[in-house]
Amino acid sequence: MTQQLDLRRLPAVGSFLRRLSADRPARAVYVALALLIVVGWLLFALDGGRFLSQENIVGIQQRSAALGIVAVGQTLVILAGSLDLSVAYLISLTTLVAAETMGGADAGVPVAVAAVLAVSATAGLVNGLIVTRLRVHAFIATLGVALVIRGVLDDRYDGPAGSVPESFQHLGYDRVGPLPVSALLWAAVAASAWFLLSRTRLGCRIYAVGGDAEVARLSGVRGERVVVAAHVLCSLCAGIAGLLLASRLGAGAPTVGTDGGYDLESIAAVVIGGTALAGGRGGVAGTVGGVLLLAVLDSIFNQLEVDSFAKDVVRGVVLVAALAIHARRRTA
């Protein structure tokens, strides 16, 4: 009996490990992450302090959850050869949609979640259609959508609005054992995306369209649908991140997305994770590593109380270095 189970499981596990270890860029990120943790640990050990206490880890997980979820979505569009610059404003918008629909009442939660998902799916659909039908480059298309959303936000809100019932705040602050719920949510989103990319037709086609749209077309892939689907999924991820942030803040905030820099940070995390900006190569595993790398870096800075200028400089250097390393490893 047990033997039978083993036999059925082994190939699946084997194929998972094989694919993960074949994903060389992702491996590189995790090596870098491990090195960074060792460096951080040494720094604090010399100082007599402790790096990566449990609080610390929880802090890292919580901070990175929202960015992580957005970055997973960003991975999908980038793999498909596109890009999404509208996620930051969309996040702000969805926190407001969530908080206003809930209006502090428990009964409003399901409606609010549905409304957020609907709003973000629509934004993704618009992005995708502009990119595919109107053939506007994703950079401009999603920037345009971002500006439109900003217009709505500027026009209608000057500050936080709406409110989130206590029951919904569990999402942002609760833990299951040592793990924050938000981190679990991130893990779930990442795992779904990984599954989508490796085990579904849509996943195969995202890689194909991003790799070479003409080759995909000649092979019978309807590339436009694939790109639209990727954009919808990306915006849904932004919506989920918006829900998470609303639950943390207890209200909707018109600047939470842009303050967090979720647009450029998510793209940075994706490329640090080894996904090619031109599309067709990379994956979610690398992105998760990229997000964690940025988060650990942040937490080292916070503990060392580095000023924000030095912080930005180092982050910039890390980003460029990561790209250079991936490029080198590819040609080697």
Q: How far is the CB of 210 from another protein (least distance, A)?
A: 9
Q: Is residue 217 a contact point for another protein (CB under 8 A)?
A: yes
**For residue 21, what are its two tokens?**
């270890």
C-alpha pair distances (Å), 42 with each of 46, 53, 57, 85, 318:
6, 14, 16, 37, 19
Among 39, 219, 264, 317, binds another protein (CB under 8 A): 219
- Minimum CB distance to another protein smaller for 170 or for 201: 201
Query: Residue 257 and residue 69: Cα distance in Å, rounded?
Result: 13
Task: Build a one-symbol-per-residue string for 1-30: x at contacts with another protein by CB under 8 A, - elsewhere.
Answer: ----------x---x---------------
Give me the residues paired with residue 176 across strands: 179
Q: Is residue 211 a contact point for another protein (CB under 8 A)?
A: yes
Three-class SS state of 252: strand
Q: Is residue 229 a contact point for another protein (CB under 8 A)?
A: no
Q: How far is the CB of 248 from another protein (least distance, A)?
A: 35
Q: How far is the CB of 280 from another protein (least distance, A)?
A: 5
* Touching another protein, residues 32-91 (CB under 8 A): none
Among 1, 5, 176, 218, binds another protein (CB under 8 A): 218
- Minimum CB distance to another protein smaller for 19 or for 175: 19
Among 208, 227, 229, 251, binds another protein (CB under 8 A): 208
Q: How far is the CB of 195 from another protein (least distance, A)?
A: 9
- Minimum CB distance to another protein smaller for 239 or for 280: 280
**For residue 75, what are its two tokens?**
């991975």
DSSP state of 161: B
Q: Which residues contact 149 (CB under 8 A, 6 or more apart)?
A: 86, 89, 90, 92, 93, 123
Q: Of 290, 317, 316, whose CA–CA distance to 31 is shortest?
A: 290
Q: Is residue 226 a contact point for another protein (CB under 8 A)?
A: no
DSSP state of 52: S
Per CB under 8 A, which region of 55-63, 104-112, 216-224, 307-315 contacts another protein?
216-224
- Minimum CB distance to another protein smaller for 217 or for 315: 217
The residue ranges of DSSP E strands in the chain, in sequence order, are: 175-176, 179-180
Query: Residue 161 and residue 144: Cα distance in Å, rounded?
Result: 25
Q: Of 327, 277, 268, 274, whose CA–CA distance to 295 is shortest?
A: 268
Burial class (CB in 10 A: 0-12, 13-18, 19+), 310: exposed
Q: How far is the CB of 131 from another protein (least distance, A)?
A: 18
- Minimum CB distance to another protein smaller for 133 or for 156: 133
Q: Which residues contact 206 (CB under 8 A, 6 or more apart)?
A: 76, 79, 80, 197, 226, 230
Name the site residues for another protein (rule: CB under 8 A): 11, 15, 198-201, 203-205, 207-208, 211-212, 214-222, 280-281
